[in-house]
Amino acid sequence: MTKQRTLKNYFSLEGKGLHTGLFLQITFKPAPENHGYKIKRTDVSGQPIIEAVVDKVVNTQRGTVLADNGVQVSTVEHALAALYGCEIDNCLIEIDGPEFPILDGSSIQYVRKIKEIGIQEQNAPRKYVSIKRKRIRVTDPETGSEMLLLPGESFNIESTIRFNSIILKQQKANITNLTDFAKDFASARTFVFVREIEQLLNNNLIKGGDLDNAIVIYDTPMPQQDYDRLAEATGMKQKNAKHLGYIMNKPLMYDNEPARHKLLDIIGDIALVGAFIEGSITAICPGHKINVLFAKAIREYYLENPLTTREMLKLQGI
């Protein structure tokens, strides 16, 4: 029987928010059995707690935003991916602002801290959702996105990303075991196309975005004057608007780093199901919108079938 797990101790990290630009401190604390993931806003009167489940998602524009009783917290996906990827069942996250810090744009700093302080096994059995004799499929005709969960006794994800870009056309990534997350996916950084930056800035987003926390993909030539203006706003050092390619402070962590980051985001969003998933996931053109719709469909099934843990299925002879 697989048992639930939590942290052995607490840890904190500090950094700026990607969209707000605020300097933030986030703390991860051990939590009791069946607690799940919960987020406490320590800067708000009464220190309200938001349960990190997909029912609480209120926005998926360039990140996953949770809210409850008028209090919200955004950009939670990288932290939740780290917890889920390290197979942590229960954790209380405290944050002193409206957004999680972006750190380096990946999950690796969270993962390193989790490994450093250690993981504590608990007594209660782990919660699983395991579909049998059916499938869960969600599509978005507008974007061409599709998410599919098929029955299986183990967990795996195969993801394909596609863009209308001469730099980043199509990439694939797959994970066959969560034990591979720390080494093969946690370091994959978020990315953005240059052509999207102006719109994001106009929408009051990415105030904290720079080359220390994102990969910039420059695939469509623009006038030098426009390029210079965006470079100044984001800290891009490349000055020649004719040179297309990746703009970044550090080399790619993996040849398919964008695809791996999108898979990381999937894990962070399905962490909101509230149980570990058994089965095979196929993702085509994933993004936070389709990820969350997918997580909602899985959670609905899970709540309607509360005994679908690995152990209960065996007891029932299914």
Our answer to whether residue 35 is catalytic in this structure is: no
Angstrom distance (rounded) from CA 255 to CA 143: 25
Angstrom distance (rounded) from CA 37 to CA 180: 22
Would the annotation count 265 as a binding residue?
A: yes
Closest CA to 215 of 154, 177, 258, 165: 258
Per-residue buried b or exposed e for 23-38, using 16+ beta carbons within 10 Å of the residue's own CB: ebebbbbbbeeebbbb
Q: 128: part of which helix (H) or strand (E)?
A: strand 128-130
Q: At CA 174, angle to CA 169 and CA 179, rounded to 5?
A: 145
Would the annotation count 261 as a binding residue?
A: yes
- Which tokens sit at 284? 């085509």
Choose, from 19, 35, 243, 288, the residue flagged as catalytic: 288
Would the annotation count 19 as a binding residue?
A: no
- Which tokens sit at 269? 């969003």
Angstrom distance (rounded) from CA 58 to CA 253: 32
Integer distance in angstroms from the first to the last C-alpha of the chain? 16
- Which tokens sit at 263? 């898979």
**Strands 245-247, 57-59: pairing kind:** unpaired
Binding residues: 78, 261, 265
Binding residues for Zn(2+): 78, 261, 265
Active-site amino acid positions: 288
